[in-house]
Amino acid sequence: MSSEPVPSDDIVATLGRLPTATIYEANGKWGEVAPNIRPVVDGVRLCGRAFTVKAMPGDNLVVFRAIEEAPAGAVIVIDAGNTDGATIWGGTSTCACIARKINGCVTNAAVRDVAQIRKLNFPVFAAGINVRGTVKSHPGWTQVPISLGEVPIKPGDIVIGDEDGVVVVAAERAAEVAGKAIEKQKKDEEREACILNGEPVRQVLKL
């Protein structure tokens, strides 16, 4: 059994309420996935423990196994080759996730059935949109260490996404980062209130 601390549901929920930019700063300016991984649905937020998937490009058999294995509240995080030329996700996988109460999907590959995903308002963050279909033949791997961009992701790490992008916080640092992010958000709000009240920005920022 792992001796690493498991972040509580309250810690995960706290991170889920905070802006990714604030979390990134509190995390030592670390953990942002590749900037081309963008939300498919405008205005959605995503947060949960990573259920990791390693898939062959264009083969999503392992994705459906992951959806069956992942606990409610998880985020399916898929390394599928770092290309928008291969599709890994679509409407059927989205419906399956909703039925299983999965919190969302993040992938470095492409998605399709975008109109359906947007109608369902399901959080999907992907490297692109592509009409191509998938095959279902390679078993792939679940719950193994992967990476998206230059960010390593372990099963159970906390994944947070909003309109600015996706940030990953290592599970063992989640409580620490959440505390720092709360403090940073408070300071940011106080600073911006001063600016809105007319104080010179250089003075407020101590430039």
CA atoms within 13 A on the CB side of 103: 21
- Asked whether 111 and 40 are in contact (CB, 8 A), the reply is yes
The answer to pTM > 0.85 is yes
Question: pLDDT of 150-197, one tens digit each?
Answer: 899 999 999 999 999 999 999 999 999 999 999 999 999 999 999 999
* Coil vs helix vs strand at 39: strand
pLDDT-derived band at 1, boundaries 50, 70, 90? very low
Write down the domain spans for the chain. Answer: 9-205
Q: What is the CATH superfamily name and number for domain 9-205? A: Ribonuclease E inhibitor RraA/RraA-like (3.50.30.40)
CA atoms within 13 A on the CB side of 129: 13
* Coil vs helix vs strand at 115: helix
d(CA 195, CA 186): 15
d(CA 97, CA 91): 10
- Asked whether 4 and 167 are in contact (CB, 8 A), the reply is no
